[in-house]
Amino acid sequence: MLSELQEYVDIYKEIHKHYLKNWVSPPLYFDPIPSGKVIPNTPQKKINWTIPKNMELPKNKQDLAFYSIPQLASLIKSKKITSLDLTQFFLARLKKYQDTLLCVVSLTEEIALKQAQKADDELSKGVYRGIMHGIPYGVKDLLAVEGTKTTWGAGAYKEQVIEQTATVVKKLEQAGAVMLGKLTLGELAMGDVWFGGKTKNPWNLQQGSSGSSAGSASATAAGLVPFAIGTETHGSIVSPSTRCGTTGLRPTFGRVSRYGAMTLSWSLDKIGAITRSAEDAAIVFETIRGTDNKDLTVKDFSFNYSSEIDLKKLKIGYLKNNFDSLKDTKLETNVLDVLRKLGANIEPVVLKTTYPYDIIGLIVMAESAAAFDELTRTNQDDKLVQQHKNAWANFFRAARFIPATEYINANRLRTQMIAEVDAVVSQYDVLISPNFQNGILAMTNLTGHPVVVVPSGFREGRPNSISFLGNFFDEATILAVAKAFQDATDFDEQHPERFK
């Protein structure tokens, strides 16, 4: 066997002669759809977003910080505020609080002012691109924007300029949105610690904002941006949204192009929206979804969202095993009570898998170690801030000992897990669950099902949230149910006092 191993080493050496950029993907594409399953793709209908009429500027201008996208759109469309004024307002808030929250890697002020002026010029000529026209936003700094630094939150890359622009950023620009800046992420998309420090939770500055979409959730919760773009591999939208009390949408795997995004795991990375309401998340999602012929995992399915949903006609379940594993279920049970008062019939469901969901760790580690192979082999991983056992530097080194056979067999088990989980999920329109019980986060990231997480109250002074889990490519239903819950409660309208 020794001679065979030596031949492998020789092949490795040949591979290492060729520099592979992080975003070069293997010709193997993960598809979450179970074998034989057909997803109905209804014709796309025009979504008529409701822009409120007769919106007025608030007496206290700082109240604009927490206006919804439709409210801001109303002010811009009616020319009661210019996009330029709104952009300068949010830039000022970012500058004021960025040192408090450590949520900004870099402001893209020149780009923002140019895009805002363009939006105003177009509007003066009668050109209105739609509800996103002139709306400012922030983007997680693992999305490349040509001419700007894209640091991935890591000291080894803090001067990196990638000459490409992520598809989601291009789509937002085409819709007329205004990019304010690049927001923090835990280095290389883990946690909330980056090369500039630890991003803070606006509700408790003694606490990190969780990660890895740390800055996106923190800045949105504090009203420094109307919304932000985040990404998730294993909880990076759900976790900071829970910690910071924002609404987070993790779409179906293969819904949003990852072109221009840092790769962590080719079969698990997803891009989504972090907002302050489900309706805002729906608006952002409609803007960024769809194919681009660059990320070949992306499929074009319709998104026929409507806020007018009859809960009585939906089949809704709650994951009883996940509720039962909580010591205190008062906040979670209240979610069910609210929806039942709105007419929903909600039944208990048990969602389990006979397959080990902790295979997600092995899959992520193997894929991420390949994505950052050059970093490890050149010892540039020494520049990462965190060097402890449960940090990327150590994970990348250890992952080189994962046999290819085990990685492949973990994915074969994943195929069976997807079919098993989907057999339950597909019987319902929506499933409701606490966010972190019984491996639900790992399980649904492995299967690729969509989730929207929304605030559901406060537990011991900390934001609490709940997840609405849906069927493949049916973000429309979970967002509509989440909106119905938010319309009946005020949890999404509560904001950290010091940032008002």
pLDDT per position as a tens digit, 283-335: 999 999 999 999 999 999 999 999 999 999 999 999 999 999 999 999 999 99
Question: Tell me, what's the pLDDT at 285?
Answer: 98
Provide the pLDDT for residue 44.
97
- What is the pTM for the complete model shown? 0.97
141 pLDDT band, cuts 50/70/90, is very high
Q: How confident is the model at residue 468 (pLDDT cuts 50, 70, 90)?
A: very high
| CB-CB contact of 441 with 433 (8 Å) | no
Instruction: List, for residues 363-397, the tens digit of each pLDDT value.
Output: 999 999 999 999 999 999 999 988 998 999 999 99
Nearest alpha carbon to residue 305 among 73, 473, 489: 473
Stretch 121-125: mean pLDDT: 98
Q: In the predicted model, what is the mean pLDDT of residues 440-468?
A: 97
CA distances from 230 to 16, 79, 275, 280, 388 (A): 32, 30, 10, 14, 26
In the chain, the percentage of residues whose pLDDT exceeds 90 is 97
pLDDT of residue 479: 98
Pick from 201, 211, 219, 267: which is nearest to 239 by CA?
211
Instruction: State the average pLDDT over residues 196-217.
Output: 98
| 143 close to 169: Cβ distance less than 8 angstroms | yes
pLDDT of 5 over the 90 cut: no
What average pLDDT does this structure show over 98-114? 98
Q: What confidence tens digit (pLDDT) does each residue in 408-435 have?
A: 999 999 999 999 999 999 999 999 999 9
Q: Which domains does the chain have, with CATH numbers?
A: 61-356+413-499 (3.90.1300.10)
Task: Please provide the average confidence, as pLDDT, over all residues in the chain.
Answer: 97
Report the distance separating Cα 345 and Cα 323, nearest Å: 17
At 404 the pLDDT is: 96
Question: pLDDT for 29-80, tens place per residue?
Answer: 999 999 999 998 999 999 999 999 999 999 999 999 999 999 999 999 999 9
Length of the chain: 500
Kindly state the average pLDDT of the residues 137-146. 98
Helix axes 330-341, 475-488, angle to 10 degrees: 100
pLDDT, average across residues 174-187? 98
Q: What is the largest CA-CA distance in the chain?
A: 79
Catalytic residue positions, numbered: 140, 212, 236
In the block, tokens 């700082």 appear at 62
Structure tokens at 193: 């610690």
